[in-house]
């Protein structure tokens, strides 16, 4: 439609796309890592692909290890923010608020409801870091399996 971009001062700049949610990002990354593992496992079938797999498996393990430690460093920051916010909320609801809670459990539930966003991030990070840790374990199993696969091939050829 003519004149549609009349108020757009710079027509080359496109509007910003919405950010991907943490949950969707982690789901996409789990799929990517699953595909990488499946691809590496598929290469175990052929002895000719094992030489390529040997270099790939160590590279992917290092990437996975670095990513795991990156996730843990973020988790540490989120935990620090959660503990600080929890303390602030506890002090407010215990000493400054006119509402008094009958027991610590009720107060704890109120505070966790207030900090739901931080708790969700923390749980997503914990879950994803566990997945990456297990993925690294699967890569370690592939590393262990490579010499065994070569040994089986040699046995089948009569060596």
Once rounded to an integer, what is the mean pLDDT over residues 113-142? 97
| Helix (H), strand (E), coil (C) string for 79-110 | HHHHHHHHHHHHHHHHHHCCCCCCCHHHHHHH
Domain ranges of the chain: 48-156
In order of 24, 80, 81, 114, 158, the CA distances from 152 in angstroms are 41, 50, 52, 58, 10
pLDDT tens track for 6-23? 445 555 656 567 788 999
pLDDT tens track for 82-113? 999 999 999 999 999 988 888 999 999 999 99
Average pLDDT of the chain?
A: 89
Residue 76: pLDDT band (50, 70, 90) is very high
Residue 1: pLDDT band (50, 70, 90) is very low
Residue 158: pLDDT band (50, 70, 90) is confident
Q: Does the pLDDT of residue 45 top 50, yes or no?
A: yes
């Amino acid at each position: 439609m003519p004149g549609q971009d009349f108020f757009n001062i710079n027509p080359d700049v496109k509007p910003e796309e919405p950010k991907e949610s943490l949950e969707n990002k982690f789901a996409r990354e789990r799929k990517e890592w699953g595909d990488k593992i499946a691809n590496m496992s598929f290469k175990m079938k052929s002895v000719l692909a094992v030489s390529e797999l040997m270099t790939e498996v160590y590279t992917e393990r290092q990437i996975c290890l670095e990513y795991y430690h990156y996730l843990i460093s973020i988790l540490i920051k989120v935990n620090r923010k959660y503990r600080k916010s929890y303390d602030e909320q506890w002090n407010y609801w215990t000493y400054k608020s006119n509402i008094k809670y009958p027991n610590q459990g009720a107060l704890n539930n109120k505070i966790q409801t207030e900090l739901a966003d931080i708790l969700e991030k923390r749980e997503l990070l914990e879950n994803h870091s566990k997945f990456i840790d297990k993925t690294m374990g699967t890569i370690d199993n592939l590393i262990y399996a490579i010499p065994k696969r070569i040994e089986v091939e040699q046995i089948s050829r009569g060596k």
